[in-house]
Amino acid sequence: MASEIVCDKLLLVEGIDEIIFLSALMNNLHNWNTTTDRNILYKLGNCKETTVLDKPDGDKIQIISVGGKTKFRSEFSVFIKSPGFKNLKSLAFIRDADDSFQSAFDSIVDVLRENNIPFPDTPAIYTKTQPRVGIYIMPDNKSAGTLETLCLNSKVNCPFLACTDSFIQCISNYFPNKVVTHIDKRRSLVYLSAMHEVDNRLGIGAQKGYWDLNNCCFNNLTSFVSSL
Amino acid sequence: MLNSLKLFNFKGFKELNLRTLSRVTLFGGPNNIGKTNVLESIFLFFDRTNVNMILRQYNFRGLNTTMLEPIHLWGPIFNDYNIENEIKIECVVNNHNESMKIKHNENYNRPAVPVQPLILPNNPQIISTNQNQTTSSALDITYNMDGRKVQESHLTIGPTGLELFIDFSYNKPTVATFNPSRMRTNPLEDSNRYSELDIIGKSDIILNYLRIIDTRINRISIITIGNEPILHCDIGIGRKIPVAFLGDGISRFLTLLLQIVSGKCSVILVDEIENGIHYSVMAKVWESIAMVAKDFDCQIISTTHSYECLRAAYAGIPENMANEFRYIRLERDENNLITSNIYDYKMLGTALYNNWEVR
């Protein structure tokens, strides 16, 4: 089954893990559920790169994984040829800031500009164009970091979170010539490994309640997705 | 080679601009978007000296009867049946700008036409006349090449059906063939083409490619049954059987190969090319079609609804022909006009690799 645009409100994310995470987040806070629309389920089949969420008011939002930020840049010009793209009413992007919020934001703006798609001036604010376009940069539209950073922020009061830092510090002593990168990714992996059922996927962690999805650190993100 | 195509007021298209057509061009898109219409427009463009140029198109669609009135006879080829508008088909063919204009003419003055011989019972003699008949409805068809009018003709409703009057014609159109999705192939045409290849010792080319679909085929021969020569094959069961008995897929593939290898058709139009072909051989079939088309300087323009077919085309088209392939998806925009999305080989590969919908 192919990943087909089946809704007029579309959210593009980096990977499948983000799809699972956002589905769990929006389900927890706003009771959005994976669609039961049989026509949509028939069209999407068992395609893992996309899901459709039903809002309680009957509206539908589709999330598609673009398979990584590098690919996104080079392949977006092909993606916009997909059936249904021209009929979109809203289009949103969520990606990690990584080392720089500004670079990440500019990177998406550049891709949109290159493909003659409207783009916002500021993150988390939708354009008033057709389609409406919005960009959200993890973790908070201003800092460096990733979705993992945001998730870890939700557990900032967790007593054993400090153990993750100790573990990484300890291990890094064995690799004195290597700079430890992607700290929050590593911390989240260590954190998840401590859970009852071991699964290193952040989205599955959200489904299992390992992150505190009610924490206010997710408010801006849920607000952005709700406004799609 | 048809390099580009522009349509105005033809069937479902108010206007359609296809800027890039390649040696192998595939059309996709939802139902009723006009994929077959595109093929029909190309066929009409090249079939313009055939009095049945329009009726054949209805026949391809399975319509065998119509009424002898302009709105029924040629209304269907006009956008929204509006016969007052002019149809225009503009092409670049082998880097020449060519165009065809079709206009309904309510008052066409038929030229001198001999009336059917009439034999009177009491005084047997043949009476004929050359006087002008009254005016009648016609389609005025003009054809330009690089800005010069090179053909003018009139398709009109005569006493016995459609008649085509060609005022002048200075060029020989490219030969195109149309393979409809629903009609069986013509066994006589296939036999004739095969015979011509056999005479010049090229029939083995066909055999080798057919084995891609069915490895049991040892030999092909023409056997006359009644008055009709029919292609038979030997699949090792102790007797030869008509190729058609092997199935629709192989019959269609055979017809296509014969059309290409015969060297008489420059543009081959195939509606729903995947029909009858099993997915497991589809990539090989595409490879064969592409290679033979290149070897015999043919252009293949086809439609498909099938994702498998697109995957197979991507897998099968040889790398050295990547720049000779296009996939064009038609879609309706917010103004209800039909537009095109053109994928080159690499773009199609990207979309397929990501599992993105492209149909």
* pLDDT tens track for A13-72: 999 999 999 999 999 989 999 999 998 998 888 888 899 999 999 999 999 998 888 888
Question: Is B171 a residue whose pLDDT tops 80?
Answer: no
* Mean pLDDT of the B24-44 span: 96
Categorize the per-residue pLDDT at B263 as very low, low, confident or very high, splitting at 50, 70 and 90.
confident
CB burial class (10 A; 0-12, 13-18, 19+) of residue B78? buried
Q: For B99-150, write each residue's pLDDT tens digit.
A: 999 999 988 887 755 444 444 444 444 444 444 556 688 999 999 999 999 9
pLDDT of B133 reads 53
Q: Which residues on adjacent β-strands are paired with residue A154?
A: none
Q: How far is B351 from chain A (nearest CA, A)?
A: 7
Given B329, B350, B355, which is nearest A2 (Cβ)? B355
The answer to whether the CB of A208 falls within 8 A of the CB of A137 is no
Question: Is B334 a residue whose pLDDT tops 90?
Answer: no
Question: Is B265 a residue whose pLDDT tops 80?
Answer: no
Distance CA A216, CA B57 (A): 66
To test the contact with chain A by mutation, choose from B27, B314, B340, B354 the residue with the greatest count of A C-beta atoms within 10 A, namely B354
* Mean pLDDT of the B3-23 span: 96
pLDDT of A70 reads 81
Categorize the per-residue pLDDT at A161 as very low, low, confident or very high, splitting at 50, 70 and 90.
confident
Residue from B24, B56, B29, B67 nearest B270 by CA: B24
Q: How far is A76 from chain B (nearest CA, A)?
A: 10
Question: Is A134 a residue whose pLDDT tops 50?
Answer: yes
ipTM: 0.76
CB contact set of B223 (below 8 Å; sequence gap of 6+): B229, B230, B232, B240
Given B333, B351, B356, which is nearest A86 (Cβ)? B333
Q: For B172-201, write each residue's pLDDT tens digit.
A: 778 899 999 876 677 888 999 999 999 998
Question: Is A183 a residue whose pLDDT tops 90?
Answer: no
Distance CA B266, CA B175 (A): 6
Task: Output the average pLDDT for chain A.
Answer: 92
Distance CA A16, CA B125 (A): 89
Q: How far is B355 from chain A (nearest CA, A)?
A: 5
Q: Which residues on adjacent β-strands are paired with residue B295?
A: none
A86: contact with B, CB 8 A cutoff: yes
* Mean pLDDT of the B24-34 span: 96
The answer to whether the CB of A62 falls within 8 A of the CB of A54 is no
* Mean pLDDT of the A79-104 span: 95
* Mean pLDDT of the B333-347 span: 93
Task: Output the average pLDDT for chain B.
Answer: 88
Share of chain B above pLDDT 90, in %: 59
Q: How many CB pairs under 8 A join A and B?
A: 52
Given A3, A75, A78, which is nearest B355 (Cβ)? A3
pLDDT of B83 reads 95
**pTM for this prediction:** 0.84
Tokens describing residue B148: 């010069």
